Amino acid sequence: MAQEDQSRHGMWSSRLLFILAAAGSAVGLGNIWKFPYIVGENGGGAFVVVYLVCIFLIGVPIMMAEVLMGRHGRQSPINTMRLLVKESNARPFWIMIGWMGVLAGFLILSYYAVIAGWAFYYIFQLASGLFEGADGAFATETFNTFLADPWLMLFWQTLFMALTVFIVSRGVSRGLEAAIKWFMPLLFILMVAVVGYSMIWGDFAAGLSFLFSFDVSALSVDGVLIAMGQAFFTLSLGMGAIMAYGAYVPMNTSVTQTVITIALLDTGVALAAGLAIFPIVFASPGLEPGQGPGLMFVTIPLALGNLPFGAIVGAIFFALVSFAAITSAISLTEPALAYLVEEYNAKRERVAISLGVICWVLGIGTVLSFNVWADFHIVGEKTFFDFVDYVSQNIMLPLGGLLIALCAGWVLPKALVKAQLKLPAGVEPVWSVLIKFVAPAGVLAVFVYTLFGNVVA
């Protein structure tokens, strides 16, 4: 039932490249600092089990839905949803899925490029030996001094944005695939190198215990909801990236097998990040695995600065973080870029530059949120950065994921879904139940928790 066998933007040359591209979209900054931390804080191995269950009950079904929609439409998420609405005789309301995904991805990229620029900056700071023998006060002061300098932050944001624009401007085969072929293998190699270093110089036993001790008593209702949310957010669902990438998937590729592989790869990288980070942290007395930027930009440089070969390993670590950020950034750019190319028949290079400039300008608000505009609040106590992050991550993404599940389960013709997924007879009813009932209920629970969880707590 697909309209075309090929997308006008190009096609992935192999199943492996799509797996690496989608995994690159999923593996980002959150995998490296957030996932390992929430595992350790919520029961270790017990949390991992709940998370994996949520991945297969919520994340995988919705990701399969996004891929099948993209592959059928062979266009940008917006135009794919227009086609699906027309073929399904559905209400135009469902086109909102495409618009919401494109806008959410664009908003996320505007501040993602800023934070990724921090990783670029820290490659050189660690390599220079700046943190050798440093104490906590110095590491904190270094990070705060960097955040207080808008021009320095702007420089690294610009560099990251320019690299992203250059890659996506070259198209699927010359741009996206070429970058994925280099960055993803390098990411895996660097991850193995840092894990190996942690085994030798870090407190690997403490890191393993923090991540995998099976403590059911530490797994609360909040922990289960956090696992559900992480299972959804980690796979880059609801932001149009997977639907856009799905448009370039050949028809002979198994959607089910490919999505499961991507989910396992994403989880494996997140757990490996924990094995790389926490033994290093625990090897330095007095350091705690704090959450957020503090872990990545204060605790880790401080820990490495007091370990053998820390400067080299630190530079490698932040190169790894940068590669993960780049592969995520190009996937965030693709949905909006593909739509504008289709809608206005414009050259890809010009659209990429225009989008990059707009995104860069929007990102200046995030840069200034850490210094000049630090006391300026848009809503309540939220700075510009906090507001954009909250709207995109806590509202648009879960809402988009919920609508994708409902659309795939209740709106799309069964023949269309069947033709794309080609599930075995015994598996098809299971997927139908998951996408119609289980996944929407899970995402709705995440949606409510992210909006009102702190209030309820």
The pLDDT, as a whole number, for residue 457 is 35
The pLDDT, as a whole number, for residue 400 is 94
Q: What is the mean pLDDT of the chain?
A: 91
The answer for residues whose C-beta is within 8 angstroms of residue 367's C-beta and 6 or more apart is 114, 150, 153, 154, 157
More confident residue, 177 or 6: 177
For range 112-130, the mean pLDDT? 95
Res 343 pLDDT > 70: yes
For range 310-335, the mean pLDDT? 93
Q: How many residues does the chain have?
A: 457
Res 90 pLDDT > 70: yes
Res 32 pLDDT > 90: no
Res 176 pLDDT > 70: yes
Q: For 357-387, write each residue's pLDDT tens digit.
A: 999 999 999 999 999 999 999 988 999 999 9
At residue 455 the predicted structure's pLDDT band, cuts being 50, 70 and 90, is very low
More confident residue, 118 or 393: 118
- Of these ranges, 24-33, 290-299, 322-331, the one predicted with the greatest mean pLDDT is 322-331
Q: For 381-433, write each residue's pLDDT tens digit.
A: 999 999 999 999 889 999 999 999 999 999 999 999 999 999 988 889 999 99
The pLDDT, as a whole number, for residue 1 is 41
Please identify, in words, the CATH class of the domain defined by 15-456. Answer: mainly alpha
At residue 2 the predicted structure's pLDDT band, cuts being 50, 70 and 90, is very low
Spatial distance between the Cα atoms of 189 and 183, rounded to a whole number of angstroms: 10
At residue 33 the predicted structure's pLDDT band, cuts being 50, 70 and 90, is confident
Q: For 236-257, write each residue's pLDDT tens digit.
A: 999 999 999 999 999 999 999 9
**Structure tokens that stand for 423 in this block:** 């599930």
Q: Classify 382 in phi/psi space as left (phi over 0), alpha (psi -120 to 50) or beta.
A: beta
3-class SS string, the chain: CCCCCCCCCCCCCCHHHHHHHHHHHHCCHHHHHHHHHHHHHCCEHHHHHHHHHHHHHHHHHHHHHHHHHHHHHCCCHHHHHHHHHHHHCCCHHHHHHHHHHHHHHHHHHHHHHHHHHHHHHHHHHHHCCCCCCCCHHHHHHHHHHHHCCHHHHHHHHHHHHHHHHHHHHCHHHHHHHHHHHHHHHHHHHHHHHHHHHHHHHCCHHHHHHHHHCECHHHCCHHHHHHHHHHHHHCCCCCCCHHHHHHCCCCCCCCHHHHHHHHHHHHHHHHHHHHHHHHHHHHCCCCCCCCCCHHHHHHHHHHHHHCCCCHHHHHHHHHHHHHHHHHHHHHHHHHHHHHHHHHHHCCCHHHHHHHHHHHHHHHHHHHHHHCCCCCCCCCECCECHHHHHHHHHHHHHHHHHHHHHHHHHHHHCCHHHHHHHHCCCCCCHHHHHHHHHHHHHHHHHHHHHHHHHHHHHC
The pLDDT, as a whole number, for residue 290 is 63
More confident residue, 134 or 61: 61
With tokens 């707590």, the residue in question is: 457
The pLDDT, as a whole number, for residue 453 is 67
At residue 41 the predicted structure's pLDDT band, cuts being 50, 70 and 90, is confident
Spatial distance between the Cα atoms of 145 and 139, rounded to a whole number of angstroms: 10
